Structures are given as structure tokens and as C-alpha cells.
Amino acid sequence: MTTSITYCFIFARAGSKGLPNKNTRMLAGKPLLSYPIHVAQSIPFVDEIFVSTDSTEAVDIALMNNTVVIPRPKELASDNSNEIDAWKHAIRWVKERYGYFENFISLPCTAPLRTKESVLSCFEALNSQNPFIVSVAKTKYNPFFNLVKKNLEDRSISLISPSNFNRRQDAPDIFCITPVAYIAKQEEIIKRKSLWDGKIVGVEVPPEIATDIDDINDFTIAEAIINRNSKNNDGQGEPT
């Protein structure tokens, strides 16, 4: 019986409208890109780590952290690019050079608060019946209670999903996708035209690690949390 091969991929394009060059920006003393790399390096069954990027700064960070760099084409690194197309490019690049592998793990740079345990919980859900796993977290914003749409003419608001719930606790739990981990069988990604072109299983992770850095406010909050955790851990650094 052969052991399945698992590769971790980190996608770190140069551009970002919300926070320029965020993937190489220093967060609590080290580049944002290094956070997912270090988590991946702590997972014993990850056979290799690849960084797909069009950024020369990201290439330097990736090489300093002993990962393999995948040159990302410019057409797959624009604001309008489809993320799954970058995934497919990376998978095909790796298969051409390293041969067949089974399991694909993507750890986006934008979730630096992820823990090794959260990634493992997502990976444990992966099997032939559940070939595509996405991390999700409960959100306090709820279309049945406090998410509204606005009438542009008179500025009146109404619930996106009208309901009779008067308390948030009574409304159904709502989850949002968080970039802690995307995990799939690589063939499942290749055959899909979009992320939602097939079954996706959501694995819940704690909301306190579900930060998704999109702008300077998200960045500042994440940095404050990491610095606080570092002090609580007696200077041992962020947890993995």
C-alpha cells in the first residue's frame, strides 16, 4: 500500500487593491507570507511546500524559507483573475516536474491567525465522498436578523431574507468562508470550472482565528492579536 502524497500551496500575488503588497508586508516582525509557510512546515504529512507568485519579493521570502517557487503568469495574478485558475496552473506545473500527487492544501496568506490544529481538522474531513473542504466560521452578521438591503431612492432598508426572528439567538446559524484552509483532491480542482462547480464541505473553525486580511484595518487587528498572544506565551511567538 502506497502513502498518498500531500502538497501545500501558497498563492502570493504581488498586487492587492485593499492593501498593496500585503503578502510581503511585515506583520509583527516577519512577512505575512511566512505565516502559512511556517504552519505548513509544522504538519508532518506535507511532503512539499510550493509558493505560486509573480512577486520578486515573495520569491526571496519563499526561497529563504526553503520552499519551491512556482512562477505565476501575470494573467493569473490580476485583480480579475479567478483563484481556481491559479490553482490549476500550480497543480499542472507540479505534476509536470514532480509527478502525480493526491492531496492539495492551500493556505492563503490572509489568515495569519490559523493554527496547525485548524488545518488538521479540515484535512481529516477529506475523503472520496468529501473531495473538497473549505474552512468556515460562524458570523454575527445574519440575513435573517441584521443583514439588510438598501433602497437607493428613499434610503429605506429591509432584511435580505425577511423573517419573524426578533432575537439573533433564534435565527439559524450563518457561516462565512474563511481562508484558514482550502483542501481538496487535486483531480477535483482540475475538473471544476469554478469553486462551486460541485460539492463543498465546510469545516468549522474558531472565529477568533478566522481573520481575513483585506485592508490596513484587518492587518492592524491581526498584528495586535499576534503581539498579545506572543506576550501571553512568554515571548515564544504565535501558536502553530
User: What tens digit of pLDDT does each residue of 119-151 get?
Assistant: 999 999 999 999 999 999 999 888 888 888 998
* Mean pLDDT across 49-71: 97
Closest CA to 6 of 86, 89, 92, 106: 106
d(CA 103, CA 133): 11
pLDDT, greater one: 33 or 165 = 33
Domains of the chain: 6-135+177-232 (3.90.550.10), 140-173 (no CATH)
Kindly tell me if the per-residue pLDDT of 48 is higher than 90. Answer: yes
Cβ atoms of 203 and 130 closer than 8 Å: no
Pairing of strands 148-150, 157-159: antiparallel
Kindly tell me if the per-residue pLDDT of 45 is higher than 80. Answer: yes
Confidence of residue 234 (pLDDT cuts 50, 70, 90): low
Kindly tell me if the per-residue pLDDT of 235 is higher than 50. Answer: no
Cβ atoms of 56 and 130 closer than 8 Å: no
* Mean pLDDT across 197-224: 95
Cβ atoms of 81 and 75 closer than 8 Å: yes
